[in-house]
C-alpha cells in the first residue's frame, strides 16, 4: 500500500491548521510529484480557511505560492523532469481548448479553470504535492526560491493589470494597500516607467515603499492629496474599504483595478463613470502567458519580494502575524517536516 501524504490542513471553516494525512489519487500520466521546499503565505489562504467566498471544501491543505523540486513524473509528461525546480500557483487545470486557454489566459478559461485549493483540493503546505504538470512553471536560475514563491500569486496578480493598463510612459499609478501584492505592484509599475504613489494605512511603511520604487507615499485618509491624481489605481485591500472615495482619486478616463477580495459589493457613483469616463475593473491572478513573462521580467529586472521566513510548522503563528498587518511584506513558509 502507498504511503499517505502529509501536510497542514484546515479541517473545518475557520479552524487552525493541523497535521493531516491522506491517501492521494494515483499519479496520473500527466501529473508530477513536487517535494515542496517553500510557500508564500497569501491573504487568500486565510479567506479560503474562513470560506469567505463559499468555494472551500474541508478538509483541505492551503498554499498556492509553491516552490519545490520534482521527484516523480507521469509517463506522458514531456516538458519537465525529475529534479527540475518548479513553481505552482492558484490554477491547476483548465479546458485547454477555448480561445482564452489557447492564448495562455487560462485565468479566464471560458468553461472555468480548476483551482489548486478550491473545492477541497490540496495545495502546497504539504511534504509532497501531486498535481497536473501543465501548470508547473520552471523557475529561472536568476531567482532564488524564497523570492520566487510570492511571485507565483502576488506577483502575477499585479503584473497582469500593470501590463494591460500601463501602456505609455509616465502613467500615474496609485497602489492601495502595501502588503504582499501591493509591494510587488509598486516594483512592477515603477519598472515599466510609471510614476507610483503608495497609498497606505501604515505610516511606518513610507521609507520601504519608496525603496520599492514609489515616488510618493500618502496615507489613505489624506483624500485631498489624492483627488484627481491617477490614471490607474491597483487596490489590494482584503477588507471593507470605500471604492466611491477611491474613484475620486482617478483622473478622467482613469481605471480603478480591484484585486483585493473583501466580501463586499462594489458601489461607485454613476456620475464618475459616465461624465468622467472612469472605469472599475477587476483582475484575477494570471494565465500561463503572463506567468512565464512575469517570471522572466522579474529575473531580468531584479524584482524581488521582501520576505520574512518562518518554518511551515509555525503556520498558525504566521497567519496571526499577517492578520495583525505585521508581515513585511510576504511571509515565506519553509518546509520543516
Which part of the chain contacts Zn ion (CB under 5 A), choosing from 22-30, 110-118, 148-156, 307-315? 148-156
Helix axes 156-165, 180-191, angle to 10 degrees: 40
Minimum distance of ligand NAP from residue 262's CB (angstroms)? 6
Under the binding rule (CB under 6 A), the answer on residue 122 touching ligand NAP is no
Read off the C-alpha cell for 326.
505585521
- Whichever of 139 and 285 has its CB closer to Zn ion, that residue is 285
Per the CB < 8 A criterion, the answer to whether 151 and 143 are in contact is yes
71-100: which residues touch ligand NAP (CB under 6 A)? Answer: none
Counting contacts by CB under 6 A, is residue 246 touching ligand NAP? no
Write the DSSP string, 12-72: STTPPEEEEEEPPPP--TTEEEEEEEEEE--HHHHHHHTTTTS---SSB----SEEEEEEE
Shortest reach from residue 205's CB to ligand NAP, in Å: 5
128, burial (CB in 10 Å: exposed 0-12, middle 13-18, buried 19+)? middle
Q: For Zn ion, what does the binding mask look like between residues 107 and 146, x meaning CB under 5 A?
A: ----------------------------------------
Which of 63, 124, 213, 238: binder of ligand NAP (CB under 6 A)? 238
Contacted entry of ligand NAP, Zn ion, none for residue 285, CB cut-off 5 to 8 Å set by kind? ligand NAP
| 44 is a contact residue toward Zn ion (CB under 5 A) | yes
Output 177 or 254, the one with its CB closest to Zn ion: 177
Q: Are 20 and 7 in contact (CB under 8 A)?
A: yes
Q: At CA 181, angle to CA 126 and CA 246, rounded to 5?
A: 145
Q: Which residues bind Zn ion (CB under 5 A)?
A: 42, 44, 153
Amino acid at each position: 500500500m502507498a504511503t499517505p501524504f502529509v501536510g497542514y490542513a484546515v479541517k473545518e471553516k475557520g479552524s487552525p491548521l493541523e497535521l493531516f494525512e491522506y491517501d492521494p489519487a494515483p499519479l496520473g500520466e500527466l501529473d508530477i510529484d513536487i517535494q515542496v521546499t517553500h510557500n508564500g503565505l497569501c491573504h487568500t489562504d486565510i479567506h479560503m480557511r474562513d470560506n469567505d467566498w463559499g468555494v472551500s471544501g474541508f478538509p483541505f491543505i492551503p498554499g498556492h505560492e509553491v516552490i519545490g523540486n520534482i521527484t516523480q513524473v507521469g509517463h506522458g509528461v514531456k516538458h519537465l523532469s525529475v529534479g527540475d525546480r518548479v513553481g505552482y500557483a492558484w490554477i491547476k487545470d483548465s479546458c485547454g481548448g477555448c480561445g482564452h486557454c489557447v492564448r495562455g489566459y487560462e485565468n479566464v478559461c471560458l468553461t472555468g479553470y480548476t483551482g489548486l485549493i478550491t473545492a477541497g483540493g490540496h495545495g502546497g503546505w504539504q511534504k509532497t504535492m501531486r498535481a497536473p504538470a501543465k501548470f508547473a512553471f520552471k523557475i529561472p536560475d536568476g531567482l532564488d526560491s524564497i523570492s520566487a514563491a510570492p511571485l507565483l500569486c502576488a506577483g502575477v496578480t499585479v503584473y497582469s493589470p500593470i501590463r494591460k493598463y500601463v501602456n505609455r510612459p509616465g502613467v500615474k499609478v496609485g497602489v492601495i494597500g502595501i502588503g504582499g501584492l501591493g509591494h510587488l505592484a509598486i516594483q512592477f509599475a515603477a519598472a515599466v516607467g510609471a510614476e507610483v504613489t503608495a497609498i497606505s494605512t501604515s505610516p511606518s511603511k513610507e521609507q520601504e515603499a519608496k525603496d520599492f520604487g514609489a515616488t510618493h507615499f500618502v496615507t489613505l485618509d489624506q483624500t485631498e492629496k489624492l483627488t484627481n491624481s491617477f490614471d490607474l489605481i491597483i487596490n489590494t485591500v482584503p477588507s471593507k474599504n470605500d471604492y466611491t472615495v477611491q474613484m475620486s482619486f482617478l483622473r478622467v478616463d482613469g481605471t480603478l483595478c480591484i484585486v483585493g477580495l473583501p466580501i463586499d459589493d462594489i458601489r461607485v457613483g454613476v456620475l464618475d463613470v459616465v461624465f468622467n469616463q472612469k472605469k472599475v475593473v477587476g483582475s484575477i491572478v494570471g494565465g500561463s502567458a503572463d506567468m512565464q513573462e512575469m517570471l522572466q521580467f522579474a529575473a531580468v529586472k531584479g524584482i524581488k519580494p521582501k520576505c520574512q521566513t518562518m518554518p511551515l510548522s509555525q503556520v498558525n503563528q504566521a497567519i496571526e502575524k499577517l492578520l495583525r498587518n505585521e508581515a513585511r511584506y510576504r511571509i515565506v513558509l519553509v518546509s520543516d517536516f
